Homo-oligomer: A and B are copies of this chain.
């Protein structure tokens, strides 16, 4: 076990020997007024590998994205693994490699970790828990409460790809869709937005519960209404088709690389232009607007000119989507 850990995990994350505890310095953190951002998530996605990613990629991206949407510059990650006895070592190697690659892309370091092994049948292959530390620059203060009437709602691309990809990958729907998860880091995209649109009010990463859940949370926290346009929603034809067959609403499907931004009207164009120059923001588009009335309510103007309420998700979410 010691050898396995050393070889599979430590050798990739800390080629030059690692202490159990990381001791770190960052000038950005000692700037007066800078704040530390700290977040964690466990990942239990099933299947562990899917089109567009694996549990390792999703763990790194998910934590980087949590930090980024809060306005933080992601710096350091921890990675803790719970392994089922007998899990294929080649699988672990692929997961670790994909974490290292994603961390490099995002400009963060995985600086501390842990592995625990449980008996067969006591866990499902591998669970990964990451925590992340970042620094929020002195003047930056993104928060839901800042969102106000007139703000434009922007997303960085098509919706629901992750949820649809996982559903298809499970195979129990007998669907053979060619959908790839949108799993990606959003740190660089967030920096581009903040530079181009410094008035950015708030940002969210639309994961479990999809865009609908994010919109409802923000509407509630800011005490505003939000109105989106069905015809503006960017959806892949395959995802739309799958949703029709299965009776799902793509607004509630999970994403793993989808940014929802609330931008003052006069900076919306600047934000969109800047976003479209980045890989993760190529398909950025405005999907709606914040309205003064009906605090806490999200509505959608449908393709047929009607209006319907987009509620908080009721009932079960898809299990083990991330």
Q: Which residue numbers of A lie inside 8 Å of B, CB to CB?
A: 1, 19-26, 29-32, 34-44, 46, 66-67, 69-70, 72, 76, 78-82, 111-119, 121-124, 127, 129, 131, 133, 136, 143, 316-317, 319-320, 322
Contact = CB atoms under 8 A, between A and B. Distances in A.
Given A40-B131, A44-B122, 13 more contacts: A22-B38, A23-B70, A24-B36, A39-B78, A42-B115, A80-B129, A112-B131, A117-B319, A118-B320, A121-B121, A127-B127, A129-B129, A133-B133
Contact of A35 (B23, B82, B121): B23
A64 to B, nearest CB: 12
A101 B10 CA distance: 34
A120 to B, nearest CB: 11
Contacts of A67: 21
Contact of A129 (B24, B36, B40, B133): B40
A73 B118 CA distance: 31
A114 B41 contact: yes
Contacts of A29: 29-30, 36
A38 B21 contact: yes
Contact of A42 (B70, B72, B129, B320): B129
Contact of A119 (B79, B133, B319): B319
Assembly stoichiometry (copies): 2
Nearest to A125: B122
A120 B122 CA distance: 10
Contacts of A119: 319-320
A39 B40 CA distance: 12
A108 to B, nearest CB: 12
Contacts of A66: 20-21
Contacts of A38: 21-22, 24, 76, 78, 111-112, 133
B35 A113 contact: no
A112 B36 contact: no
Contacts of A25: 35-36
Contacts of A34: 30
